[in-house]
Structure 1
Amino acid sequence: MMESLGDEPWDVVICGTGLQQSLLALALSRSKKRILHLDPNDYYGENEAAFSLQEAGGWAATHAGLSTGGDSSREATAPTSSARQNIFKNASAWTHPEAADRGLSFPRAYSLALAPQIIHTRSKLVERLVSSRAYKQVEFLAVGSFFVYNAEAADASSRLSRIPSSREDVFSTQSIPARSKRSLMKFLKFVIDYDSEEQRPLWQGQEHKPLAEFLATEFKLDDNLKRYILALTLTLDGRMTVGDGLATIHRHLTSMGLFGPGFCAVYPKWGGSSEIAQVACRAGAVGGGIYMLDTKAEVKDESSDGEISLDLSNGLSVRTTKLVTSQNEAAPDAPTITRLVAVVSSPLKTLFEVIVEGAPIPAVAVVAFPGSSESSDGPIYASVHSGNTGECPAGQSVIYLTTQAASQAVQRLESALSNLLAAVTAEGQTTPICLYKLQYDQSLSAREASTTAHGSVSTFAFPSPSLNLAFDDRCLDTVRDAWKLVIGEDASEDEYMVFQDREGVADDDDGYD
């Protein structure tokens, strides 16, 4: 069987099982194309993988150093002409010395995600998962409340404020004065319909101004309300513009209630984007694609008949006219984030309360730590996941903290983690402890897909994943471009990821949890 893989040329060889490559496999799964899907790793997901504790430790060891060498300041550094910089670096893992006694379970009881992005219910990704029928294999969980941390509050227990995000929410909250409520309601009403002919004159011409300035001048929002609105944008640099900010808040508000009361975003159980990648790969396999993990591919040559020859690490050689890969080298001066993943010894129940009647119990909560106005420090976001996500055992939580990379980024993340745990601990109770930590830096490759065509031979390289905390629909555009490249002249937009249930598969209603 293995020897026969090289007998006939493949219509496409896809290298890597990251989300974009996997969605491409899903899009091609009904095309009758001969597809060979490889991954040099022995796990699915590539840059969006989810790891057990043992796997996370091995991954951290592989990505421990600065590939450019020499800089120990943790500042984001550009690759030199003589060195390549992987998009992941400075990784390390830590286990509490008394972890076993404090409740840390066996390694495979955990599934720590490299891409813990929330997905707004109005995301195009959700639309594609529904139209391709792949959504039936994904268990979606509700993302619940968004909070803002106020370091100036009198005591730790009052430093978390839940952000109201609906009309009813605003009226019921006791933390906002009546006059401020009217200003906030005016803004919420505006942003729901901000791109209408009636509302455009209010903001057009100011698209590139800071959103915070716009909120103050046009809607008279005070500093507290501005923190609420800016927190909902999930921006990591604190410099959200009016144009981008209004679009982001509009998506947040219009996503609220789409799949049920009380939530505007979802999160795939068992490891976020990694789970979607695996579901997409399974669809590719059902459609006839051949999968080979732990298999590297090296371009051998471009033969005279217009085919690329690839030497595989298992000793085989294969031929194809289309090769799809991914970019794993950081671009010069690329934006970089620092992430701290912490497994804590408490379910942190106060963050997962049901606020709206009839809403599902949320599995994810988001906490924003605003940046400092006195320094260049950007905001920190903590995405808190309960045991219901399948990423940790019941009775524990996983917290993903993210900020822009800087010399003190790790210290700031550690401080935010301590402040968060103190804020959710009731008076007289013991503060939860961290059982395990994983930290790393992540950068971006070039943001455009790399496409090369030599006659009938074509290569396509996806850009690295977005650093956004919410799924960026723009990555779907490159998936469509790769699909068109493989399908060729027969590509029909109307058929892109629009499938019927396979014969013999029941059309059951696997809804959103």
Structure 2
Amino acid sequence: NEQYDVIVLGTGLKECVLSGLLATKGKKVLHLDRNEYYGGETASLNLTNLWKQFRPNQEPPKEYGHNRDWNVDLIPKFIMANGKLVKMLLHTKVTKYLEWKCLDATYVAQYQKGGLLKKEKMAIAKVPANDMEALKSNLMGLFEKKRCMNFYKYVENVELDNSTTWKKIDLETATMKEVYKHYKLEDNTIDFLGHAVALHTNDQYLNQ
């Protein structure tokens, strides 16, 4: 039977989501891709396909080992675990074709001034993910660690639909800058909280 309701060209993430949504609505879908692999621009390629993509008419060097030992992402993928995209992927069953790995930690580079006993340097430090990690972090001084720990505790316990947990902050009107100010957090702490923890790409969120 070669009759279909919809033909979808390409097997990238958006095409797979579209096919899945149509299929869940009872449509008969034909899904095609001109490549020898699935995934489109978001594919993960073995050694053979990687060479075909970027070095056509050449063979991979034998010292690189077996073809199956390689799985190179064309585009690194990072998806928030509680985001709408994850729910959509689960609903459309696209997750059956994906492999997932939890992110163990994130790190930032921080410039450290030199002194009498140490040289200036760019240090790599783990971004604290909770109040206890904040207390042990090398990103902050002693007093700032305490303030950051209190901020983490507040975030962990606050409930947006329960104003009694907001304490002295009106979350319906306060900007993020005002929340930081309430906890007297330093600019460096605000920087890694906003960009390395909350993953904002700019500082516009501070006024929201």
TM-score by length of 1: 0.32
Aligned length: 192
| Structure-1 residue corresponding to 2:145 | 181
Change (3 A) 1:139 1:112: closer
Deviation at 1:180, TM superposition (A): 0.4
| Structure-2 residue corresponding to 1:44 | 38
Deviation at 1:29, TM superposition (A): 2.9
| Structure-2 residue corresponding to 1:116 | 76
Deviation at 1:48, TM superposition (A): 1.0
Q: Which residue of the other structure, out of 57, 66, 78, is the alignment partner of 1:106?
A: 66
| 1:37-436 → structure 2 map (5 Å cutoff) | 37-60=31-54, 100=63, 104-131=64-91, 135=95, 138-152=98-112, 159-173=123-137, 176-191=140-155, 193=158, 198-203=170-175, 217-229=181-193, 230-236=195-201, 239-242=202-205
What are the superposed Cα offsets for residues 272-307 of structure 1, whole Å, 9 maximum, x if unpaired? xxxxxxxxxxxxxxxxxxxxxxxxxxxxxxxxxxxx
Q: State whether residues 6 and 29 of structure 2, in contact with CA within 8 Å, keep that contact through their aligned partners in structure 1.
A: yes
| Structure-1 residue corresponding to 2:11 | 17
Q: State whether residues 89 and 95 of structure 2, in contact with CA within 8 Å, keep that contact through their aligned partners in structure 1.
A: yes
Secondary structure of the 1:21 match is helix
What are the superposed Cα offsets for residues 420-446 of structure 1, whole Å, 9 maximum, x if unpaired? xxxxxxxxxxxxxxxxxxxxxxxxxxx
Change (3 A) 1:151 1:182: closer
Cα distance in structure 1, aligned partners of 2:52 and 2:119? 40
Secondary structure of the 1:144 match is coil
Cα distance in structure 1, aligned partners of 2:34 and 2:97? 25
Q: State whether residues 17 and 89 of structure 2, in contact with CA within 8 Å, keep that contact through their aligned partners in structure 1.
A: no
Deviation at 1:113, TM superposition (A): 1.1
Secondary structure of the 1:140 match is coil
Cα distance in structure 2, aligned partners of 1:187 and 1:26? 41
| Structure-2 residue corresponding to 1:33 | 27
Which ranges of structure 1 fall in alignment gaps of 5 or more residues?
63-94, 204-210, 247-513
Change (3 A) 1:38 1:132: closer
Cα distance in structure 2, aligned partners of 1:156 and 1:60? 41
Q: State whether residues 11 and 33 of structure 2, in contact with CA within 8 Å, keep that contact through their aligned partners in structure 1.
A: yes
Cα distance in structure 1, aligned partners of 2:12 and 2:99? 19
Change (3 A) 1:174 1:240: closer
Deviation at 1:14, TM superposition (A): 0.9
Cα distance in structure 2, aligned partners of 1:20 and 1:126? 13
Which ranges of structure 2 fall in alignment gaps of 5 or more residues?
164-169
Q: State whether residues 9 and 31 of structure 2, in contact with CA within 8 Å, keep that contact through their aligned partners in structure 1.
A: yes
Change (3 A) 1:241 1:173: same
Q: State whether residues 215 and 226 of structure 1, in contact with CA within 8 Å, keep that contact through their aligned partners in structure 2.
A: no
Change (3 A) 1:243 1:114: farther
Change (3 A) 1:131 1:11: closer
Percent identity (aligned): 22
Cα distance in structure 1, aligned partners of 2:82 and 2:206? 19
Secondary structure of the 1:28 match is helix
Q: State whether residues 50 and 114 of structure 1, in contact with CA within 8 Å, keep that contact through their aligned partners in structure 2.
A: yes
Q: State whether residues 180 and 221 of structure 1, in contact with CA within 8 Å, keep that contact through their aligned partners in structure 2.
A: yes
Whichever structure has more helix as a proportion of its residues is 2
Highest RCO, 1 vs 2 (Cα 8 Å, sep ≥ 6) = 1
| Structure-1 residue corresponding to 2:167 | none
Specify the code of the residue in structure 1 equivalent to 2:84. Answer: K
Deviation at 1:161, TM superposition (A): 0.6
Cα distance in structure 2, aligned partners of 1:138 and 1:13? 22
Cα distance in structure 2, aligned partners of 1:128 and 1:22? 11
